[in-house]
């Protein structure tokens, strides 16, 4: 696959050295709609927009038959695993609609049904949690609070089912308290029925807030060591070529200080392989990526021409396009850090 990237702005040497920490937040890959029966539908066009704050997809589907089609449509959410050290980017941890999912059909809002199940050790334990009045979201503060309020019998049941684990927290004065942390896996899917009239071309739009992971510094400039080859991994995943690497290195406070570039990393993953379930290729495909700020840098893989269409936006188009086999859309954004005292 050809490697292409778009670099926002080549900055001169900067004396800012960002603080380093072990803070890393994992992103959750999300994708598009899945049409359960699709051999009679053709995707005329798909317009995909991806930014750190919004993913929006506009589809045009044509009913290839002379009969009305009622099609089950699904939007699978990424699995979310609870843990004692939950460090995954979720836009709204306390809401069932954690990604702010919205969809419309021919301009009319769609009332989608949310299906959720809680699994532990590959067993569906949704009923056990619901019987105790525990929310199914394993990362919400309300979930944790309600678990701590359960009586001993209920706690033992959750432990027996593998839904929680005990963890001790100290106050620094040798006083320890046991908390029970949720560790089940939440599986969520939205579904709705779409009606396509004979020969009709219908517009379907859906949008949501993406899960954006990242780190507190630039981590891929150091040479390979006993912990791995991060630069090589980034080259494969984000197509970070010599031009992109050179642009980042120019901003180092010192050439030997690999983590001193004035950026932090943001990661976005869009899963487009699961959406390849309709009749034929996408007739007209358009992808727009917005890096968020003109001073940010961005790198991603695309087999074709990349056009800069605005201070922060890049667009790619293709005819009769299939999602690439074995590769999702992985985007690396380097968010620029302003030096302390900048701007007055």
- pLDDT tens for the 344 residues of the chain, in order: 333 333 322 222 222 223 333 454 444 456 566 666 667 888 889 999 999 889 898 989 888 889 998 888 888 777 777 765 545 555 555 666 667 788 899 999 999 888 889 999 999 999 999 999 999 888 778 888 999 999 999 999 999 999 999 988 777 777 788 889 999 988 888 888 889 899 889 998 988 888 778 788 888 888 888 888 988 999 999 999 999 999 999 998 888 888 888 998 888 888 887 655 666 788 999 999 999 999 999 999 999 999 999 999 999 999 998 888 788 899 999 999 887 655 54
Q: Which residues contact residue 271 at a Cβ distance below 8 angstroms, ignoring those fewer than 6 apart? A: 29, 30, 31, 32, 328, 329
Distance of CA 243 to the CA centre of its chain: 26
Answer yes or no: is 61 within a domain.
yes
**172 and 118 belong to one structural domain:** yes
Q: Domain range for residue 109?
A: 29-211
Query: How many domains does the chain contain in total?
Result: 2
**120 and 264 belong to one structural domain:** no
Per-position b or e across 217-228, b if 16+ CB within 10 A of its CB: bbbbbeeeeeee
Q: What is the CA radius of gyration of the chain?
A: 23
Among 84, 236, 112, 82, CA closest to 168: 84
Instruction: Identify the helix (H) or strand (E) that includes residue 246.
Output: helix 242-249
Is 72 within 8 Å of 113 (Cβ atoms)?
Answer: no
Domain boundary among 150, 178, 211: 211
Exposure of 201 in the CB half-sphere (CA atoms within 13 A): 9
**246 and 205 belong to one structural domain:** no
| Confidence at residue 210, expressed as pLDDT on a 0 to 100 scale | 80
Residue in this structure with the two tokens 């690999």, named with its chain if needed = 258
Residue in this structure with the two tokens 């021919």, named with its chain if needed = 106
| Confidence at residue 140, expressed as pLDDT on a 0 to 100 scale | 75
Answer yes or no: is 283 within a domain.
yes
Cα–Cα distance list, 22 to 2, 84, 301, 338 (Å): 33, 16, 27, 21
Domain boundary among 156, 181, 211: 211
| Confidence at residue 285, expressed as pLDDT on a 0 to 100 scale | 93
**171 and 88 belong to one structural domain:** yes
**174 and 228 belong to one structural domain:** no
| Confidence at residue 272, expressed as pLDDT on a 0 to 100 scale | 81
| Confidence at residue 36, expressed as pLDDT on a 0 to 100 scale | 66
Is 62 within 8 Å of 203 (Cβ atoms)?
Answer: no
Rounded to two decimals, what is the model's pTM? 0.79
**294 and 194 belong to one structural domain:** no
């Amino acid at each position: 696959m050809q490697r292409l990237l778009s670099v926002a702005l080549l900055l001169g040497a900067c004396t800012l050295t960002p603080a380093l920490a072990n803070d890393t937040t994992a992103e959750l890959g999300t994708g598009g709609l899945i049409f359960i029966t699709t051999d009679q539908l053709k995707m005329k066009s798909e317009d995909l927009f991806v930014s750190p704050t919004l993913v929006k997809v506009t589809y045009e589907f044509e009913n290839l038959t002379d009969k009305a089609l009622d099609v089950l449509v699904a939007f699978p959410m990424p699995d979310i695993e609870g843990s004692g050290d939950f460090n995954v980017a979720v836009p709204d941890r306390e809401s069932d609609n954690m990604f702010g999912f919205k969809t419309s059909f021919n301009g009319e809002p769609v009332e989608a049904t949310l299906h959720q199940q809680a699994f532990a050790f590959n067993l569906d334990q949704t009923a056990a949690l619901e019987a105790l009045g525990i929310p199914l979201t394993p990362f919400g503060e309300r979930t944790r609070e309600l678990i701590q309020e359960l009586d001993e019998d209920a706690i033992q049941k959750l432990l027996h089912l593998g839904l929680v684990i005990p963890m001790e927290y100290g106050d620094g004065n040798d006083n320890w308290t046991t908390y029970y942390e949720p560790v089940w896996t939440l599986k969520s899917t939205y579904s709705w029925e779409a009606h396509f009239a004979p020969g009709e071309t219908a517009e379907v739009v859906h949008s949501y807030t993406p899960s954006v992971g990242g780190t507190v510094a630039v981590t891929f400039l150091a040479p390979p060591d006993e912990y791995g080859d991060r630069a090589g991994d980034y080259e494969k995943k984000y197509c970070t070529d010599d031009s992109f690497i050179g642009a980042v290195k120019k901003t180092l406070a010192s050439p030997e200080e690999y983590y001193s570039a004035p950026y932090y990393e943001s990661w976005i993953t869009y899963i487009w392989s699961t959406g390849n379930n309709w009749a034929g290729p996408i007739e007209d495909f358009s992808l727009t990526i917005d890096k968020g700020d003109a001073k940010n840098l961005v790198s991603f893989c695309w087999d074709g021409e990349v056009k800069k269409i605005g201070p922060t936006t890049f667009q790619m188009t293709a005819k009769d396009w299939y999602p690439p086999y074995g590769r999702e859309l992985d985007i690396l954004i380097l968010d620029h850090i302003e030096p302390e005292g900048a701007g007055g």
